[in-house]
Amino acid sequence: MTALARIADLAVTYRGAPAPALSGLSLDIEAGEILAIIGESGSGKSTLARALAGLLPERTKVAGDRRWPGLDGGPRAGRDIGYVFQDPGSSLNPVLTIGEQVGEGARRHLGLGRRAAGAEAVRLLARVRLPEPERIAGAYPHQLSGGQRQRVAIAAAIAARPRLLIADEVTSALDVVVQAAIVGLLVELVRADGMTLVFVTHDLALASGIADRVAVMAAGRLAELGPADRVVAAPKAAETAALIAAHIDLATPPLVGEAS
């Protein structure tokens, strides 16, 4: 595989923080893969995702090297990287219609006129399996359910046809049935469009079920990286073993590759 991104010795320290949120992190992201970044709260997984997307707060101290061999000249703002947040309310404007918001990326980055962007928004809403996409396009965020808003956020994130899609804890606020539908939709979209997916989660079961590779984060460092089935079946890091043990203790469905 060709590397889409290469990260070397990345360190991130938020303004006023006593310690780095990330420290000495090196990682390649391969073009076309699904890479799951997993870890407990505070492990640094979302900081890594935001560092990749250029979404860190102002005055955050960033050191290390980030290169994009798969993107000539590096990512173009708003075009090459799509980002889906945990809370779709943080990325949806309450006073604009769904169609306006989904179509904005197509207008700005694909050069579509207003009418064409509106038609593209309806097409994207249909792609993310929202019923009656024409009606949804004319609705406002507060008129939709949480699962519907998350589908809208996904449609908006892919409107500019990005090369990399980052899904940051997108299922954590959803019930199990809706979680499965959203995860299946993400996998379908990235496979169909040839995108790379970075899937950020604390849920090892979800990660192992969809990912080509898993990166386990702990205390701002990369604890383990490898093929998903190998990481689950034969973890090398204590942090990975602890995540698997916690999953077993919860008596949840078996992980991919988990010993019986």
| Lowest mean per-residue pLDDT among 12-16, 20-24, 28-32, 201-205 | 201-205
Strand pairing partners for 167? 84, 199
Q: What is the pLDDT of residue 186?
A: 96
Cα separation values, 235 from 41, 42, 88, 142, 251, Å: 20, 21, 33, 43, 19
Q: Which of 26-30, 95-99, 253-257 has the lowest mean pLDDT?
A: 253-257
Q: Say whether pTM exceeds 0.95.
A: no
Rounded to 5 degrees, φ, ψ at 151 are -65, -40
Q: In the prediction, which pLDDT does 259 show?
A: 40
* CA–CA gap between residue 191 and residue 63 (Å, rounded): 33
- What tens digit of pLDDT does each residue of 42-66 get? 999 999 999 999 999 999 999 999 9
The string of pLDDT tens digits covering residues 70-128 is 998 789 878 999 999 988 877 899 999 999 999 999 999 999 999 999 999 999 999 99
